[in-house]
Structure 1
């Protein structure tokens, strides 16, 4: 069996470790290249896009892929949708590894929105806003002019902040709750904006916001493709073994 692992999440890293030790399975990992220096995976790894849907289809066929496991970020929905559709057309088994969404608990003050552009309707002028949403969708927050914006990203910025009133903050996870508490206090954060990515490791910013009484704008996940979904790398490995 020859497996393509679409990586980019913590679950993908764990699954790569499992696949590297799986007998009779050859696995290739694929990273989009969004992070400049991603951690090395214990599998043969390609980095970069496939040049669109037809490029992906051609690559899968030419490399004799017999199953695809999609363990990309929950907000990489365009990649997931394209992959599911092409796998269906080629009759290649497709599985999505999708961690559970975050849910608010006692003491949380969350407002759910569907789009980044909706944020300006909730956050008053002159507030300090911490964007834990990455750089790829930063332009969508241009309506927040008049607020102080701080966008955290893994890589050093390669361009100026795209609109007035914003600054980049470079930081590589994981961050502890204590780290986030100290940071939010130092920056005097009034609002936190987060994509509902789920996961325990990245939840610390939400725990810190709850402790400090900071309201959160939580961006809902986009629709996911139809198909088989599991939550953990171990479940993905069980699915793969059942195909044999």
Structure 2
């Protein structure tokens, strides 16, 4: 890189709250960064600094982008269930020798008042719901709603940011909203809709955890989908501060 070329950016993958907080901290520190959003959510909250929207074309395309931009540090701050981009990032980092940092918020854990049924994947969640639930609050994201489409005996309140993709259950109502959510509002949703089962993914974090506290207070069962295992590559951190320290160590000269 010549003296006239811009500094190599840190690539931040993901539109999570942690990704935005990290981008803001890097920009404040004067560290160049590019935040990459998948483009699956309309009107996303944009982070500070440069932003690109859309895929790279798999791990090879991502590796080519890293090489073209002389990027030596990648932060995977995607949603914990965004398996494909996390695998692509790990493969691209291996191929290019880039330093890989995975920012993973801690998962939720049940407390003494929680009534959780933990399942391995969304298919297992649908199978469990089909055998017992009657009034379901479904908060797994728009791409997973189709797994519940064949359940006719349950009614679903489906909360999404953007309209669901795929088929919908016969008996349902779609509620479009974006977090963070307040505990009082989550209580009201559960009570007013006579919810007996909440289905969610173990994404962790504070933005959407109020539904779990409300469910515990009201005795609502929670069907919790476990996280997939992350790629076994790179450095794993669990907070924005730790990610910032890791980026500083990897990206700054000396």
TM-score category, normalised to shorter length: over 0.9
Partner SS for 1:137: helix
Asked whether 1:235 is paired with 2:242, we answer: yes
Equivalences for residues 93-104 of structure 1 within 5 A: 93-104=99-110
Equivalences for residues 112-127 of structure 1 within 5 A: 112-123=118-129, 124=131, 127=134
The answer to whether the Cα contact below 8 Å between 2:66 and 2:96 also exists between their aligned partners in 1 is no
Greater Cα offset, 102-111 or 124-133: 124-133
Asked whether 1:9 is paired with 2:16, we answer: yes
| TM-score (structure 1 length as normaliser) | 0.93
Asked whether 1:137 is paired with 2:141, we answer: no
Measured after TM superposition, the shift of residue 214 of structure 1 is 0.1
| TM-score (structure 2 length as normaliser) | 0.90
- In structure 2, list runs of 5 or more residues that go unmatched: 1-7
Residue equivalent to 1:33: 39
Residue equivalent to 1:174: 180
Greater Cα offset, 203-212 or 224-233: 224-233
Write the deviation string for residues 87-126 of structure 1: whole angstroms up to 9, x where unpaired: 0111110100001011000110001001111124433457
Question: Residues of 2 paired with 1:197 and 1:119: CA distance?
Answer: 15
Give the 3 Å change call, closer, same or farther, for CA 92–166 of structure 1 in structure 2.
same
The answer to whether the Cα contact below 8 Å between 1:153 and 1:169 also exists between their aligned partners in 2 is yes
The answer to whether the Cα contact below 8 Å between 1:125 and 1:146 also exists between their aligned partners in 2 is no
The answer to whether the Cα contact below 8 Å between 1:161 and 1:168 also exists between their aligned partners in 2 is no
Query: What is the number of equivalent residue pairs in this alignment?
Result: 242
Question: Residues of 2 paired with 1:34 and 1:163: CA distance?
Answer: 22
Question: Residues of 2 paired with 1:22 and 1:119: CA distance?
Answer: 43
Question: Residues of 2 paired with 1:159 and 1:104: CA distance?
Answer: 30
